[in-house]
Structure 1
Amino acid sequence: MTLPLNRTLSLAVITLAITCNAFADPAPTENPGRVLFAFDRPDSHKQWQIVNDGVMGGRSNSSLSTASDGHVQFDGNLSLENNGGFASVRSKPAPIHLNHGDEIVLRVKGDGRKYILNLYVPNRQMAFSFQSEFETSKNQWTTVKLPLTKFAATSFGRRVDGMNLAPSKINSLGVMLADKNAGPFTLLLDWIKVDSKK
């Protein structure tokens, strides 16, 4: 049986296309990074602890819970009374294994306020951490990228000169609100990752 010329050519073209696709390079995908904290389990918040300005006599309050959509919700009320003014949550100390050149990436849904990501290292200095601020968009999920080079040493929120960040010593992360605007706040966390730029 002899096929018409047009049909023969069509079959040849289809066969060639299938063969080429079989050997084509796969479409590039975004580097997903290494997950530090995933907040998709009911007990995800148990890895974290609340630290508010009550340790200094302040009256801010906050809580961390699993939201109805499966994410972790950090919310509360920021108060400026009694020399207060911050509410925070931080992970329990554990090795995190960061390196120079790494970038911390967070997926958050905020309220339009400016938050702080804290990096903690073993240190005897009170209220010491390396900080970097990040903006949020009200009621919108956004991905925040914070290179380690953008973090500055602080104590009680004030810059500390001469202190360099040693990524390998970081053993805890935290999220803080200290924007000097009293009132309620809400921040949802989906995940926190590290993107290595090596």
Structure 2
Amino acid sequence: MNQSPTTIFNFNKDSDISAWNIVDDRVMGGISLSYFELTEDGYGKFHGYVTTESNGGFSSVDYNFDKLQVSPSDKIRIKLKGDGKTFQLRVKAFAGDRHNYIKEFDTTGERQTIEIALSEMQPSWRGAKLRIPNFDKDQIRSVTVLIANGKKQNFELLIDSIKLVK
């Protein structure tokens, strides 16, 4: 029996996005700069400029939430509109984890629905793949969208919703 998706975050004109946090490579001396805001149409807009100068090269936006029970076979479904660039979806199982589980996705410039099985998400820490299994936990505590394509570029991603699909 299929359950209806669990909403992690649904953007609309009245959304409170204060729990979303920008983390750019500035934390390690880089100079990339990004922003996260609510558009007049009610989308979460993640945009900015990424550069590899000063040993940088990434921008991200994080959303932490209360523990959400999951199974590795569950999927994260994101409705979005990107600018044709490649982004990463990242999840953390536990608040104290240093590593993330990541999966890249490509955007087309059109509205899309991206679905990523948690079990496809690979463990990573600071961009390095770890020698532990792909996501195999029973909970998640955060989602992150990150861009790090190894070049200087502007970017824009409009997010409509993020849901967990059983």
TM-score after normalising by structure 1:
0.77
* Alignment partner of 1:184 is 2:148: no
Aligned match of 2:137: 167
Say whether residues 1:147 and 2:110 are aligned partners.
no
Structure with bigger RCO (C-alpha 8 Å, 6+ apart): 2
Structure 2, gaps ≥5 residues long: none
Match runs of 1:3-152 below 5 Å: 32-122=4-94, 126=98, 128-138=99-109, 140-152=110-122
Q: Which amino acid aligns with 1:79?
A: T
Report the alpha carbon displacement of residue 133 of structure 1 after superposing the two structures with TM.
Answer: 0.5
Deviation at 1:60, TM superposition (A): 0.5
Structure 1: any 5+ residue segments left out of the alignment? Answer: 1-29
Query: Which deviates more, 86-95 or 50-59?
Result: 86-95
Provide the C-alpha distance between the structure 1 equivalents of 2:22 and 2:95, rounded to a whole number of angstroms.
19
Q: Would you identify which runs of 4 or more consecutive aligned residues in structure 1 move more than 4 Å?
A: 123-126
**Structure 1 or 2: more strand by fraction:** 2
**What is the letter of the counterpart of residue 188 of structure 1?**
L
**In percent, how many aligned pairs have the same letter?**
28
Secondary structure in 2 matching 1:153: strand
User: Residue type matched to 2:154 in 1?
Assistant: P
Deviation at 1:129, TM superposition (A): 0.5
Q: What SS class does the counterpart of residue 170 from structure 1 fall into?
A: strand
Cα distance in 1 for residues equivalent to 2:54 and 2:41: 36
SS at match of 2:17: helix
Cα distance 1:163–1:31, how it changes in 2: closer, same or farther (>3 A)? closer
What is the CA distance between 1:38 and its match in structure 2? 0.3
CA displacement, residues 34-85 of structure 1 (integer Å, 9 cap, x when unaligned) = 2111011433322211111111111011111001211110001001111100
How far did 1:99 drift?
Answer: 1.6
Aligned CA RMSD, in angstroms, stands at: 1.9
Q: Which one has the bigger helix percentage?
A: 1
Say how many residue pairs are matched: 165
Structure 1 stretch displaced more, 115-124 or 145-154: 115-124
Q: Rg: which structure is higher?
A: 1
